Amino acid sequence: MEIVQTLAVILDSTIRLSVPLLCAAMAGLWSERAGVVDIGLEGKMLIAAFASAVIAYKTGSAWAGLGAGIAASVALSLVHGFAAITWRGNQIVSGVAINMLAAGLTVILGNAWYGQGGRTPPLEGAARFGEIELPLVETLKSVPVLGPLYDIAVSGHAAPVYLALLCVVLTALVLKHTRFGLRLRAVGENPAAVDTAGVSVAGLRYAAVIICGALCGLGGTYLAVSQSAGFLPQMTAGKGFIALAAVIFANWRPWPALFACLLFGLLDAIAIRLQGVALPGIGQVPVQAIQALPYVMTVVLLAGFIGKAVPPKASGLPYVKER
């Protein structure tokens, strides 16, 4: 029973910790499958975290915060889209610019408005997403193994967690089974084919970029309004980049991306649990080394395990009608 309990707790924190990664990974997947490389996931999440914390604090409503987070992130997405699609600019440069803008802007505005070193005031009550108890928890509690797993790991998360998981399902479904998904997959591989089939390349890419912004908005909001109780400077801590790594690791497919994100989340969860624990044969490991584990694993996985990652062929290339 002890083991089941421990497992359930680890699984629970795995899910919690992978949600921002998951949102950012789906965001990156949408954008890149349409042929727009986005290294600005990090910046968009950060601005969403800030905007959602500010609005949730002002209005006292977590949902209003989510709306603001998504709006702010989509706005940055459109900047990226404008640069990358309409003006055919370099997508890496535009992404870097967005990351820098978000990192600076959030701290400066936060400091100017609240004077707490860039933090926003703590959120309480309805200004944060509460835990949602799923039905049947009480009924299932008596069932061995499954009961506690359901109670601890599956139930009791905040709304954005379930939304993020829903987004994975929707992403997979839309990409595979809809007209929009087919066109989007095609535009990332050969935009000229889409153009000559009578479909707007720019329209599809803008749609993808907006979806990307909305998903980053969800991820950022989760960080500030659900996982924490307010915005902290640089609170995304490279999650946007780890998510990009997950997308590559998953070969730009939604379900493998989910598992990649859960894997990174699991590493995080284990790292937290290992803090202060003496490992047999090694002894107590410094906290810093353990905290570095997910990042080290990112490097190892990317370097060692993805020999045959094949990105969408037109990824990162602006569409120009060639003579």
Partner 1 sequence: MTGAAPAAIELSGVSKSFGPVAANRDVSLTVAAGSIHGIVGENGAGKSTLMSILYGFYEADSGEIRVRGEKRAIRSSAEAIAAGIGMVHQHFMLVEPLSVVENVVLGAEGGPWLKRGVAKARAELARLSAQYGLAIDPDATVGSLSVGLQQRVEILKALYRGADVLILDEPTAVLTPAEADQLFELLRALKAQGKTVILITHKLREIMAVTDWVSVMRRGEMVAHVETARTSPAELAEAMVGRRVLLRVEKAPRKRGAPVLEAAGLSVVDGRGHETLRDASLTLHAGEIVGIAGVAGNGQSELLDVLAGLVQPARGVIRLDGKILNAADRNPANLRRLGLMHIPEDRQKTGLVTAFAAAENMILGYHDDPAFGPGPLLSPAAVRNHALSGMQAYDVRPADPALKTAKFSGGNQQKIVLAREIERAPKVLLVGQPTRGVDIGAIEFIHRRLIALRDAGVAILLVSVELEEVMALSDRILALCGGRITGERVADEADERDLGLLMAGVSERAA
Q: What interhelical angle do 254-274 and 2-33 show, nearest 10?
A: 140
CA-CA distance, 255 to 81, in Å (whole number)? Answer: 26
- Minimum distance between the CB of residue 96 and partner 1, rounded to whole angstroms? 24
**174 φ, ψ (degrees, to nearest 5):** -65, -45
- Minimum distance between the CB of residue 77 and partner 1, rounded to whole angstroms? 23
Helix (H, G, I), strand (E, B) or coil at 279: strand
**238 φ, ψ (degrees, to nearest 5):** 80, 5
Which residues are bridge partners to 131 per DSSP? 158
How many residues of this chain bind partner 1 (CB under 8 A)? 23
Instruction: Figure out which of the listed residues 277, 281, 307, 323 binds partner 1, where binding follows CB under 8 A.
Output: 323
Of 255, 249, 262, 250, the residue nearest 300 (C-alpha):
249
> Cβ closer to partner 1: 169 or 279?
169
Binding segment for partner 1 among 74-82, 187-195, 211-219, 299-307 (CB under 8 A)? 187-195
Between the CA atoms of 238, 244, 249 and 251, what dihedral angle is there, to the nearest 10 degrees? 170
Note whether 6 binds partner 1 by CB under 8 A. Answer: no
Which residues are bridge partners to 279 per DSSP? 283
> Cβ closer to partner 1: 1 or 197?
197
Note whether 308 binds partner 1 by CB under 8 A. Answer: no
- Minimum distance between the CB of residue 177 and partner 1, rounded to whole angstroms? 5
- Minimum distance between the CB of residue 82 and partner 1, rounded to whole angstroms? 22
Of 264, 67, 258, 73, the residue nearest 159 (C-alpha):
67
Binding segment for partner 1 among 6-14, 63-71, 117-125, 185-193 (CB under 8 A)? 185-193
Hey, what are 158's tokens?
Answer: 């905040």
CA-CA distance, 249 to 308, in Å (whole number)? Answer: 9
- Minimum distance between the CB of residue 198 and partner 1, rounded to whole angstroms? 3
Note whether 251 binds partner 1 by CB under 8 A. Answer: no
- Minimum distance between the CB of residue 321 and partner 1, rounded to whole angstroms? 7
Q: What contacts 253, CB < 8 A, 6 or more positions away?
A: 29
Residues 164-183, mask of contacts with partner 1 (x by CB under 8 A): ------------xxxxxxxx
Note whether 198 binds partner 1 by CB under 8 A. Answer: yes
Which parts of this chain interact with partner 1 (CB under 8 A)? 176-183, 185-186, 189-190, 192-199, 313, 321, 323
